[in-house]
Structure 1
Amino acid sequence: MSKAILAKENILLNASLGSKEEAIRLTGSILVDKGYVAADYIEKMLEREELTSTYMGNFVAIPHGTEDSKAYVMESGISFIQVPQGVDFGNGNIVKLLIGIAGKDNEHLDILSSIAIVCSEEENIEKLVSAKSADEILAIFEEVN
């Protein structure tokens, strides 16, 4: 995964979030603040969550926009939020890692496969949840790719 897509300034550590909606909004706002997407993309992320949960198992959720949100994506990017205490995504699913993605053209598929490789290993999840710096998080993703 290229560094431009997951940059140190896109990583938020030790967040405390009260709800799934708050979690998705924060994940999206990093993408907006860094210029990857237009502000309307956040509503599309919430819409996507209504259609089907972005909870992936293993304490990970990957909020992203709906199929028709591509017009709001200016360039591919990832936001990463670590929530050590977890946030409830419904149905007893607790999320400790939020990975927001915006993919230009079909780049989101490559981004998703990189994330899936990292997040399929429980050991990586534990390292990501307990990481104390953005550099540690970047290193875990770089090891795999």
Structure 2
Amino acid sequence: MNILQKENILLNVPTESKIDAITRVGQRLVENGYVEAPYIEGMLKREESMTTYIGNHVAIPHSMPEYVSHILHSGIVVAQYPNGVDFGNGNVAKLVIGIAGKGDDHMEVLSRLAEVCMEMENVDKLANAASAQEIMEVIGVE
């Protein structure tokens, strides 16, 4: 199972709360067979304990360690919010990237995404991408 597939990419999602955005990407991880439903609860708890906003208009929600048993396969869901999602403290995410990493994949996936998102040029490409294919090319994760 590929970590990132076209059906894991949500383009032009209308603005919503960060809770709804995290739930949306978590639900897509469930629907596409990457995680079991309780993983979403872990994602929301992670956000309560520490923001998953990483800067450059990007948030990478993932779960608390005690929920990793609910990960079936490593996966990424990318939700593009042209008008942004308020993550508090003036932080607005135009990209909400839900991740689930099985075993050592977790850190590998997270570091790859962090690398891509450190470059504002890449973030702009992702935030303005008109197709799932464009997003997959920028992230470069198969």
Query: What is the CA–CA distance in structure 2 between the aligned matches of 1:139 and 1:78, rounded to whole Å?
Result: 14
Q: Determine if the alignment matches structure 1 residue 19 to structure 2 residue 7.
A: no
2:78 maps to: 80
1:8 maps to: 6
Alignment of 1:1-145 (within 5 A): 4-142=2-140
Counting matched residue pairs gives 142
The one-letter code sitting in structure 2 at the alignment partner of 1:49 is: E
Pairwise CA distance, 1:18: 1.8
The one-letter code sitting in structure 1 at the alignment partner of 2:15 is: L
The one-letter code sitting in structure 1 at the alignment partner of 2:38 is: D
**TM-score where L is the length of structure 2:** 0.96
Pairwise CA distance, 1:95: 0.5
Query: What is the CA–CA distance in structure 2 between the aligned matches of 1:54 and 1:35, rounded to whole Å?
Result: 23
RMSD: 1.4
Pairwise CA distance, 1:139: 1.0
**Identity fraction in percent:** 53
The one-letter code sitting in structure 2 at the alignment partner of 1:10 is: N
Q: Deviations over 1:59-114 (max 9, x none)?
A: 00000000101111011000000001001011111010011000111211000111
Pairwise CA distance, 1:17: 2.9
The one-letter code sitting in structure 2 at the alignment partner of 1:56 is: I
Unpaired segments ≥5 residues, structure 1: none
Instruction: Give secondary structure in 1 for the equivalent of 2:46.
Output: helix
Unpaired segments ≥5 residues, structure 2: none
The one-letter code sitting in structure 2 at the alignment partner of 1:72 is: H
Runs of 4+ in 1 over 3 A off after TM superposition: none
